[in-house]
Structure 1
Amino acid sequence: MKKLFILIAAVLGVTVLSSCGTAQAYQPDIHVHTKDVTLKLWVDLNQGTYYRKVVQDFEKAHPDKNYHITVLESESGQASTNVQKDPEAAADVFITPNDRLGQLVEAGAVYQLTKYTSGIKANNTPTAVRAATYKGKMYGFPTTAESMFLVYDKRKFSAADVTSFAKLTAKGKLGINLQEAGADYRETPWFISNGSYLYGKNGEDPYGTTFNSAKGVQVLTWLGKLQHNKNVVPVNADEISAMQSGKINAALTGTWNAPTYKQMLGKNMGVTVYPTADFGSGAVPMKAFEGSNLYCVNAFTKYPLDAMQLANYLTSPKVQVGAFQALGKIPSALAARRDPAVTKDPVAKAVIAMTTAKHSVLMPEIPEMNVFWQHMNAVLVDVYNGKIQPAQYQATLDKFVHDVTPQKK
Structure 2
Amino acid sequence: MKKNRKKWKKLLSSGVVLSAAALLLAACGNSSSKEETKTTKSSESTKVTGDIKLWVDTEQVDMFKKIVTDFEKKYPDVKVEVTAGSSADAKTDVSKDPSAAGDVFMMPHDQVGQMADAGLLYPFTETKFAKTVKKENVASAIEGATWKKELYGFPYGVESQVLYYNKSKLSADDVKTWKDLTSKGKLGTNFGDASANYIFGPLFMSNGDLLYGENGEDVKGTNFNNEKGVEVLKWIASQKSNSGVIQSSTEALANLTSGTTDAFLSGPWSKNDVKKALGDNMAVAAYPTVDFGSGETPMKAFLGVKLFAVNQQTKSPLAALTLASYLSNESSQLKEFEEIGTVPSNKSLQENEKVTSDEVAKAVMQMSDTDHSVVMPKLPEMTSFWPAMDALINDTYKGNIKENQYQDKLDKLVSDMSKTTE
TM superposition score normalised by structure 2: 0.87
| Residue of structure 2 aligned with 1:116, choices 124, 129, 151 | 129
1:194–1:281 CA contact under 8 A, matched in 2: no
Aligned equivalent of 2:351: 338
| C-alpha distance after superposition, 1:350-377 (max 9, x if no partner) | 1111111111111111222122223221
Alignment of 1:60-209 (within 5 A): 60-63=73-76, 65=77, 67-113=78-124, 114-209=127-222
2:235–2:292 CA contact under 8 A, matched in 1: yes
The offset of 1:103, in angstroms, is 0.4
| Residue of structure 1 aligned with 2:326, choices 302, 310, 313 | 313
C-alpha distance in 1, partners of 2:47/2:260? Answer: 61
1:23–1:105 CA contact under 8 A, matched in 2: no
Aligned equivalent of 2:360: 347
C-alpha distance in 2, partners of 1:398/1:58? Answer: 53
2:91–2:115 CA contact under 8 A, matched in 1: yes
Alignment of 1:294-313 (within 5 A): 294-313=307-326
Aligned equivalent of 2:65: 52
Count of paired positions: 387
Aligned equivalent of 2:13: none
What's the secondary structure of 1:290's corresponding residue?
Answer: strand
2:225–2:414 CA contact under 8 A, matched in 1: yes
Aligned residue identity for 1:314: L
C-alpha distance in 1, partners of 2:385/2:324? Answer: 30
Aligned residue identity for 1:300: Q
| C-alpha distance after superposition, 1:270-292 (max 9, x if no partner) | 11111111112321110011110
C-alpha distance in 1, partners of 2:128/2:384? Answer: 33
Aligned residue identity for 2:159: E
| C-alpha distance after superposition, 1:256-307 (max 9, x if no partner) | 1111222332321111111111112321110011110110000010011100
Aligned residue identity for 2:274: Y
1:23–1:112 CA contact under 8 A, matched in 2: no
1:375–1:400 CA contact under 8 A, matched in 2: yes
C-alpha distance in 1, partners of 2:128/2:366? Answer: 30
Identity %: 44
C-alpha distance in 2, partners of 1:44/1:80? Answer: 14
Aligned residue identity for 1:86: D
C-alpha distance in 2, partners of 1:279/1:176? Answer: 18
Aligned equivalent of 2:292: 279
Larger mean CA deviation between 373-382 and 220-229 belongs to 373-382
Alignment of 1:231-380 (within 5 A): 231-380=244-393
Aligned residue identity for 2:221: G
C-alpha distance in 1, partners of 2:208/2:62? Answer: 44
Aligned residue identity for 2:101: A
What's the secondary structure of 2:99's corresponding residue?
Answer: coil
The offset of 1:18, in angstroms, is 7.4
What's the secondary structure of 2:181's corresponding residue?
Answer: helix
The offset of 1:85, in angstroms, is 2.6
In 2 relative to 1, CA 395–22 (structure 1 residues): closer, same or farther, beyond 3 Å? farther
What's the secondary structure of 1:144's corresponding residue?
Answer: strand
The offset of 1:24, in angstroms, is 4.3
1:157–1:172 CA contact under 8 A, matched in 2: yes
The offset of 1:405, in angstroms, is 1.0
TM superposition score normalised by structure 1: 0.90
Aligned residue identity for 1:70: E
1:142–1:315 CA contact under 8 A, matched in 2: yes
1:330–1:348 CA contact under 8 A, matched in 2: yes
In 2 relative to 1, CA 18–159 (structure 1 residues): closer, same or farther, beyond 3 Å? closer
1:115–1:308 CA contact under 8 A, matched in 2: no
Aligned residue identity for 2:59: N
Aligned equivalent of 1:11: none
Alignment of 1:387-402 (within 5 A): 387-402=400-415
C-alpha distance in 2, partners of 1:342/1:52? Answer: 23
Alignment of 1:203-222 (within 5 A): 203-222=216-235
Q: Does 1:384 align with 2:409?
A: no
Aligned equivalent of 1:403: 416
C-alpha distance in 1, partners of 2:188/2:81? Answer: 42
Aligned residue identity for 1:106: D
In 2 relative to 1, CA 151–215 (structure 1 residues): closer, same or farther, beyond 3 Å? same
1:153–1:270 CA contact under 8 A, matched in 2: yes
Aligned equivalent of 1:6: none
| C-alpha distance after superposition, 1:130-172 (max 9, x if no partner) | 1111111111100101211111111111111111100110011
Aligned residue identity for 1:284: T
What's the secondary structure of 2:160's corresponding residue?
Answer: coil
In 2 relative to 1, CA 21–212 (structure 1 residues): closer, same or farther, beyond 3 Å? farther
Unaligned runs of 5+ in 2: 1-24
C-alpha distance in 2, partners of 1:51/1:261? Answer: 27
C-alpha distance in 2, partners of 1:94/1:73? Answer: 10
In 2 relative to 1, CA 21–303 (structure 1 residues): closer, same or farther, beyond 3 Å? closer
1:179–1:385 CA contact under 8 A, matched in 2: yes
What's the secondary structure of 1:70's corresponding residue?
Answer: strand
The offset of 1:73, in angstroms, is 2.1
C-alpha distance in 2, partners of 1:371/1:251? Answer: 27
Aligned equivalent of 2:7: none
Larger mean CA deviation between 117-126 and 32-41 belongs to 32-41
